[in-house]
Amino acid sequence: MHHHKYDMRFYEFQTIKPRKPKKPRKPLTPEQSLVAAKKRQVDAAKQALQSVKDHQQQRKKLERARKAAYAPAAQTRTTS
């Protein structure tokens, strides 16, 4: 078979993102490092919030599915 050429294609797309060249980091002033730290905290908090929301949505979906499975009659009454 001659499709070896294409084997790594998807992987290549994943890895060859144009990366910003890293600037050599100057040591931050105390104020700047404080701001940078707070920004990192905000990003982490946003991610945490999103994952909590995702988990809750997933659980609700599962519960709805379970209730629908146990009580098919209830489906006719509920308006979603």
pTM above 0.85, yes or no: no
pLDDT at residue 72 in the model: 64
Per-10-residue mean pLDDT of the chain, 80 residues long, equals: 52 57 79 96 97 96 89 57
pLDDT at residue 64 in the model: 92
pLDDT at residue 17 in the model: 56
Domain for residue 64, yes or no? yes
pLDDT at residue 27 in the model: 83
CA gap 34, 7 in Å, rounded: 46
CA gap 13, 16 in Å, rounded: 6
Number of domains in the chain: 1
Domain for residue 7, yes or no? no
**Structural domain containing residue 59:** 29-80
Domain for residue 15, yes or no? no
Tokens of 59: 């659980």
Domain for residue 10, yes or no? no
